[in-house]
Structure 1
Amino acid sequence: MDQFPTLTTKRLILDQIKTADIPNILTYAGNIKIAENTRSIPHPYLEENAIAWIQIANAGFKEKDNYMFAIRLKDNLGLIGAIGLDINKENNRAELGYWLAEPFWNKGITTEAAKAIISFGFEELQLNKIIAVYLTTNEASGKVMVKNGMIKEAEFKDHDVQRGYTIADNRYVSLIQYRMTKNEYESL
């Protein structure tokens, strides 16, 4: 696949993140609630963070080890979040990750986007397994996994460090991991 794929669902377009998306990225990813509910989005979120993230996404696609999609509503093509697969080529699996802007929470958007990405992972990338983890404080993220047929696989106590404003603000967070194998996907 030489050109970045575009996936469509009933309400969404999932496509490549662009520099034109930086204003939306700053507005939405800059919300403290996004940082509090994810493992890797810093707060404050600066333009340099957005630029670096887009560069990482582009490099990942080039190397075929990371597919990061913008989430867009069909009726308003501005970026409202992101979803992607971080590929572990050696083991033919990927980690699903996502975030969605707060104004769009509780509308089924992430569930819809995740379904498309899971299908892409198994059907286009021919992965054997997709995992996803969420912070124990973000149960809504776990519901996305359950609604997509993923199976709880593990709990990790004080597993990651969530970065704060200063080193003193760093804290350990616990994670819950879900999975779906190719066979489980095919049996749905």
Structure 2
Amino acid sequence: MEQFPTLRTERLVLDQVKTSDIPNILTYAGNIKIAENTRSIPHPYLEENAIAWLQMTNSGFKEKDNYMFGIRLKDSPGLIGAIGLDINKENNRAELGYWLAEDFWNQGITTEAAKAILAFGFDKLKLNKIIAVYLTTNEASGRVMVKNGMVKEGVFKDHDIKRGHTIEDNTYVSLIQYRMTKSEYKSL
């Protein structure tokens, strides 16, 4: 795959994140509710964070170990979130991750985008397994996984450190992991 793929769903276009998306990334990922509901998005979210993330996504595509798609509505080209797969080549699996601007929550957008990414992972990348995790405080993210037919694998107590402004502000967060294997995907 030389060119970054574009995926289309009923309402969405999932495509490469671009430098021109940085203002939307700053606005939407800068919302403290996004940081509170994700494992790695910091708050405050600064321009250097967006630039570093964009460089990581471009590098990941070149190395074929990370496919990060911008989420856009078909009738509006502006980025409203991101969704992608972080590939573990050695074990032929990936981790699904996503975030969506608060203005677009509770509309089924992430569920629709995740369905397209799961199909991409199994049909195009020929992965054997895709996992996804969510913070125990973000049950909406878990509903996205359930609606897409993923299976709960486990709970990881105090598994990750959520970085604060200082070391004293760091907290441990618990995660819930879901999975889908190639055979589970084919049986849907």
TM-score bracket, shorter-length normalisation: over 0.9
**Which residue number corresponds to residue 141 of structure 1?**
141
1:76-87 to 2 correspondences below 5 Å? 76-87=76-87
Name the CA distance, whole Å, in 2 between partners of 1:110 and 1:184: 20
Cα offset, 1:168, TM superposition: 1.1
**Secondary structure, in 3 states, of the residue corresponding to 2:54?**
helix
**Which residue number corresponds to residue 8 of structure 1?**
8
**Secondary structure, in 3 states, of the residue corresponding to 1:55?**
helix
Normalised to the residue count of structure 1, the TM-score between the two structures is: 1.00
Q: Which runs of 4+ in 1 moved over 2 A?
A: none
Q: Does 1:46 align with 2:46?
A: yes
Name the CA distance, whole Å, in 2 between partners of 1:99 and 1:14: 13
User: Structure 1 counterpart of 2:32, which letter?
Assistant: I
**Which residue number corresponds to residue 169 of structure 2?**
169
Cα offset, 1:166, TM superposition: 1.5
Q: Structure 1 stretches of 5 or more lacking a match?
A: none
Normalised to the residue count of structure 2, the TM-score between the two structures is: 1.00
Cα offset, 1:165, TM superposition: 1.6
User: Structure 2 counterpart of 1:62, which letter?
Assistant: K
Cα offset, 1:12, TM superposition: 0.2
* RMSD of Structure 2 on Structure 1 (CA): 0.3
Q: Structure 2 stretches of 5 or more lacking a match?
A: none
Name the CA distance, whole Å, in 2 between partners of 1:166 and 1:32: 17
Q: Does 1:61 align with 2:61?
A: yes
Cα offset, 1:169, TM superposition: 1.0
**Secondary structure, in 3 states, of the residue corresponding to 1:118?**
helix
State the aligned residue count: 188
**Secondary structure, in 3 states, of the residue corresponding to 1:10?**
coil
Name the CA distance, whole Å, in 1 between partners of 2:42 and 2:73: 25
> What do the CA deviations read for 1:101-127 (whole angstroms, capped 9, x no partner)?
000000000000000000000000000
